[in-house]
Amino acid sequence: MQDIAAKILEGDRRALARAITLVEDEDPARYDILKKIYRHTNHSHIIGFTGSPGSGKSTLVDSLITLARNEGLSVGVLAVDPSSPFSGGALLGDRIRMQEHTLDDKVFIRSMGTRGTLGGLSKATREAAKIMEGFKKDIIILETVGVGQSEVDIAKYADTTLLVLTPASGDSVQTIKAGVMEIADVFVVNKADLPGTEKTCLELESMLELGEEGPWRPPVVKTMGDRGEGIDLLQQAIYSHKKHLYETGRIREIRRERIQRELEEQLEYLIYLRSWEAINNNTDLDKEIKSIEKEECDPYTTAQKLVEKYVF
Ligand SMILES: Nc1nc2c(ncn2[C@@H]2O[C@H](COP(=O)(O)OP(=O)(O)OP(=O)(O)O)[C@@H](O)[C@H]2O)c(=O)[nH]1
Ligand SMILES: [Mg+2]
């Protein structure tokens, strides 16, 4: 495993791909890699793209990659597929859309499922992104479909979060889930060729007017992703936000919060694993279940007894 970590740091794409597979498989060996590369991470600008299924995230990401490459920047993309019925064929779609970049060795694109139990989406995604950071990409883009908690999770991890909306009826600003508006550093109204674009933009602007005034006012950027229109403005908005993060020192806070979460998450994970291990090695759970079944005991008392006896 030492080999894989060293190879990732040298920029070996196959090693990177292999390491992300280990993360997806929840292989314990991934921790050797993560430990070795950690000190080389925390230098990429992490951009999170979220929004409803089919809003045009991958199309926009694809165009942004082209702009970033023209500036000589390297890019890593992690497209997270929620494996939900909402985004049928997302993996194939992303692959086709971003195909031209796959021949470029300064671009690394990977789609990832969200299978995995404990921690689910966020833990595996974070670990995979961390590994990409070790690959020393200037920019890392995380694309997640805005389903469930995923957009809030992604905002916690990204330096700059983009919320992609469309003028289509279902995406009216009022219907956006509570807590989601707050996570956006940049609002993107994509599919600006469709009717209702101005209305969506106005709704967003007036909502921003009403909101609390913070140190950063999220801009609203109109794009037509499939024609590449507005992408330059989108890129400028991302750069302005990045500049703001560095000028105000906010970036240090974000990084510190990230370290805190990484540590807490890892502690939770290890405590969970070790506790189960201790209990499994010392008890016959079937016997305990039978005893509860026979009404000799109850799950609450049994759980407490086992934890007190074997864990703490
Ligand atoms: N009319 C119109 N269609 C667009 C525009 N941008 C993208 N599309 C189309 O919208 C569809 C979905 O685009 P994607 O980029 O795959 O959207 P996505 O948000 O990545 O989708 P998921 O990853 O499945 O959630 C594709 O057919 C695109 O060609 C646009 O500006 N206008
Ligand atoms: Mg997509």
Residue 162 shares a structural domain with residue 287: no
Would you say residue 33 lies in a domain? Answer: no
Residue 159 shares a structural domain with residue 302: no
Task: Write down the pLDDT at residue 116.
Answer: 44
User: 100-148, pLDDT tens digit by residue?
Assistant: 676 788 888 888 776 543 434 567 888 999 999 988 889 999 998 776 6
Domain that holds residue 120: 42-248
Q: Is the pLDDT of residue 312 over 50?
A: yes
Residue 273 shares a structural domain with residue 243: no
Residue 293 shares a structural domain with residue 157: no
Q: Which of 65, 189, 226 to mutate to test the pocket of ligand 1 (most atoms within 8 A of CB)?
A: 226
- Tokens coding 56: 């045009």
Would you say residue 197 lies in a domain? Answer: yes
Would you say residue 3 lies in a domain? Answer: no
Residues of the chain above pLDDT 90, percent = 58
Residue 102 shares a structural domain with residue 243: yes
CA of 151 from ligand 2 middle (Å) equals 14
Would you say residue 75 lies in a domain? Answer: yes
Residue 276 shares a structural domain with residue 180: no
Contact call for residues 145 and 90 (beta carbons, < 8 A): yes
User: 32-79, pLDDT tens digit by residue?
Assistant: 999 999 999 988 999 999 888 889 999 999 999 999 999 999 999 988
Sheet holding 139-145, edge to edge: 107-112, 75-80, 139-145, 45-51, 160-165, 186-189, 220-222
What's the CATH code of the domain at 156? Answer: 3.40.50.300
Residue 282 shares a structural domain with residue 231: no
Residue 177 shares a structural domain with residue 243: yes
Which of 248, 277, 292 lies at the terminal end of a domain, its last residue? Answer: 248
Residue 147 shares a structural domain with residue 291: no
Would you say residue 125 lies in a domain? Answer: yes
Residue 273 shares a structural domain with residue 236: no
Higher pLDDT, 302 or 123: 302
Q: Is the pLDDT of residue 90 over 80?
A: no
Number of independent structural domains in the chain? 2
Would you say residue 19 lies in a domain? Answer: no
Q: Is the pLDDT of residue 246 over 90?
A: yes
Query: Does 222 contact ligand 1 (Cβ within 6 A)?
Result: no
Which of 208, 223, 248 lies at the terminal end of a domain, its last residue? Answer: 248
CA of 159 from ligand 2 middle (Å) equals 20
Atom of ligand 1 nearest to the CA of 55: 19
Across the strands, what pairs with 229?
A: 224
Q: Is the pLDDT of residue 168 over 80?
A: no
Would you say residue 253 lies in a domain? Answer: no
Integer Cα distance of 92 and 98 in angstroms: 10
Residue 177 shares a structural domain with residue 152: yes
CA of 252 from ligand 2 middle (Å) equals 30
Would you say residue 283 lies in a domain? Answer: yes
What is the dihedral angle through the alpha carbons of 135, 136, 139, 143, rounded to the nearest 10 degrees? Answer: 20
**Is the whole-model pTM more than 0.95?**
no
